[in-house]
Structures are given as structure tokens and as C-alpha cells.
Amino acid sequence: MAKGLGNIMKQAQQMQAKIARVQQELEDKEVEASAGGGMVTARANGKQQLLELKIEKDVVDPEDIEMLQDLVLAAVNEAIKKSQEMIQEEMSKVTGGMNIPGMF
């Protein structure tokens, strides 16, 4: 019985090390999303941090700030969504699709 528990603990430690490695690698991976036909582009990393926000000059209209705000929100939200999907995909490779609560 103790031998089986030791194997389980060893496997858990190996999985934990793999997860830590993937989390570190995700910091360097990036995703990009745009809105308004590329007028606003957001880039995020695998830590769900916004790295860059580009706004084309043509979309800046002082008479229509709301449209620009909507485009920025759409691009940022899509970049974060893509970042989350990338994280889930990479983690499922390590966990075999098993959902581990509290990982992210």
C-alpha cells in the first residue's frame, strides 16, 4: 500500500514540475487579436498580460470616442480570451485533459 502511495506522490511531483515548466514557457508565448478590421490590435502573453495595444490613426475620431472605446474593449477581450485558450491547451497537454481546480 505504501509503495503505491509513493508512486502516486512521485507522479504528482513530476506533473507539478511539468506544470511549472509550461507556466514559465507561457510567459514567452503571445497571442494577438484585432477589431474593426485591424484598426485596433491587442497583443497579450500567456500570463494574460496585455503587452501592446495599437490604434490606427484613421479610427481616432474626436466626435466618436465611443466607437474607439468599443474597438479597444473588443480587441483586448479577444486577446485575453485567446490567451486563456492557449493556457488551457498547453495545460491539457500536461494534465491529459484533467481539469485541476485552482491552476489558473
pTM of the model: 0.77
Assess if residue 100 is contained within a domain. no
Query: Is 52 contained in some domain?
Result: yes
* Higher local confidence (pLDDT), 24 or 4: 24
* Percent of the chain's residues with pLDDT above 70: 90
Is the pLDDT assigned to residue 42 strictly greater than 80? yes
Residue 76, domain CATH:
3.30.1310.10
Within a domain: 101: no
In a domain, 102, yes or no: no
pLDDT in tens, 44-92: 999 999 999 999 999 999 999 999 999 999 999 999 999 999 999 988 8
Is residue 41 within 8 A of residue 75, CB to CB? The reply is yes
| Number of compact structural domains in the chain | 1
Determine the average pLDDT of the residues in 7-18. Answer: 85
Q: pLDDT value at position 97? A: 64
Give the structural domain span for 7. Answer: 2-95
